[in-house]
């Protein structure tokens, strides 16, 4: 075997024998620059990941449509019993940019991206119409507003709300700055995003998680200093 597999061969064999038991589920964007396993320096078996355009979570809608993200949530929470769900947005998100720009194609109701991004249409229209903000400010704001919207939608799933209320599940928001490689964490109480404090090495902690310390990736997300809220 070549490449990455050779270095992880024993771990893969163990995972094959024992099955997967990830404690953390990540909802991330399809964007090739925002891969959760890379950002968290996670090993095979650490993260249960679902990726879609702009890392959106639709509201709980049990009907005959095809619900890929909801199916992944169901498996992660009900079968794997993950203890953390991280909604991780990122800078320069093309899906968010499309949602903010009514001129951009494809964005019609009849295409898939347009329909998908209509999950955040109301806030995109409000933010997109705000002339006090620059285009870059609108983009970053929308990236974060959509993370909060997805967290709210997660709580419309009955088993997620129940598990959270009973302390078996914690929801987190995070935003990855592609240009600097920084992972910002959402304050659970205020919804504000804070950059990681100096010397706080997310990747190293994720690496510890990979080694099997149990309290892993998501547990560290709220551990940021509120006073670091300023900045871009």
| Number of residues lying near Zn ion (CB under 5 A) | 4
Our finding on whether 186 is near Zn ion (CB under 5 A) is: no
Q: Report the distance separating Cα 138 and Cα 97, nearest Å.
A: 9
Our finding on whether 113 is near Zn ion (CB under 5 A) is: no
For residue 171, the cross-strand partners are 85
Q: How far is the CB of 219 from Zn ion (least distance, A)?
A: 25
Our finding on whether 27 is near Zn ion (CB under 5 A) is: no
Q: How far is the CB of 29 from Zn ion (least distance, A)?
A: 3
Rg of the chain over all Cα atoms, to the nearest angstrom? 18
Q: How far is the CB of 211 from Zn ion (least distance, A)?
A: 30
Query: Is 159 in a helix, a strand, or coil?
Result: helix
Q: In 3D, which of 97, 93, 121, 90 has the Cα closest to residue 193?
A: 90
From residue 75 to residue 104, what is the string marking binding to Zn ion with x (rule CB under 5 A)? ------------------x-x---------
Among 29-37, 98-106, 157-165, 192-200, the segment contacting Zn ion (CB under 5 A): 29-37
Tell which phi-psi region holds residue 193, choosing left (phi > 0), alpha (psi between -120 and 50) or beta: beta
Our finding on whether 31 is near Zn ion (CB under 5 A) is: yes
Q: Report the distance separating Cα 32 and Cα 43, nearest Å.
A: 18
Q: How far is the CB of 123 from Zn ion (least distance, A)?
A: 16
Q: How far is the CB of 143 from Zn ion (least distance, A)?
A: 8
Q: Report the distance separating Cα 203 and Cα 214, nearest Å.
A: 15
Q: In 3D, which of 44, 14, 48 has the Cα closest to residue 218?
A: 48
Our finding on whether 29 is near Zn ion (CB under 5 A) is: yes
Q: Which residues bind Zn ion (CB under 5 A)?
A: 29, 31, 93, 95
């Amino acid at each position: 075997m070549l490449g990455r597999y050779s270095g992880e061969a024993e771990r893969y064999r163990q995972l094959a024998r024992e099955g997967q038991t990830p404690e953390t589920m990540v909802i991330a964007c399809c964007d090739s620059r925002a891969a959760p396993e890379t950002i968290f320096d996670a090993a095979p078996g650490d993260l249960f990941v679902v990726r879609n355009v702009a890392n959106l979570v639709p509201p709980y809608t049990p009907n005959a449509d095809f619900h890929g993200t909801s199916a992944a949530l169901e498996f992660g929470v009900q079968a794997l019993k993950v203890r953390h769900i991280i909604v991780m947005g990122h800078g320069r998100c093309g899906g968010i940019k499309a949602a903010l720009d009514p001129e951009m194609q494809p964005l019609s109701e009849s295409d898939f991206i347009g329909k998908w991004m209509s999950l955040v249409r109301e806030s995109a229209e409000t933010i997109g119409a705000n002339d006090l903000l620059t285009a870059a400010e609108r983009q970053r704001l929308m990236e974060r507003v959509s993370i909060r919207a997805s967290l709210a939608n997660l709580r419309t799933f009955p088993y997620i709300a129940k598990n959270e209320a009973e302390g078996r599940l914690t929801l987190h928001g995070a935003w990855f700055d592609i240009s600097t490689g920084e992972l910002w964490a959402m304050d659970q109480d205020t919804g504000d995003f804070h950059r990681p404090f100096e010397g706080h090495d997310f990747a190293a902690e994720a690496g510890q998680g990979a080694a099997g310390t149990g309290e892993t990736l998501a547990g560290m997300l709220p551990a940021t200093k509120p006073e670091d809220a300023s900045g871009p």
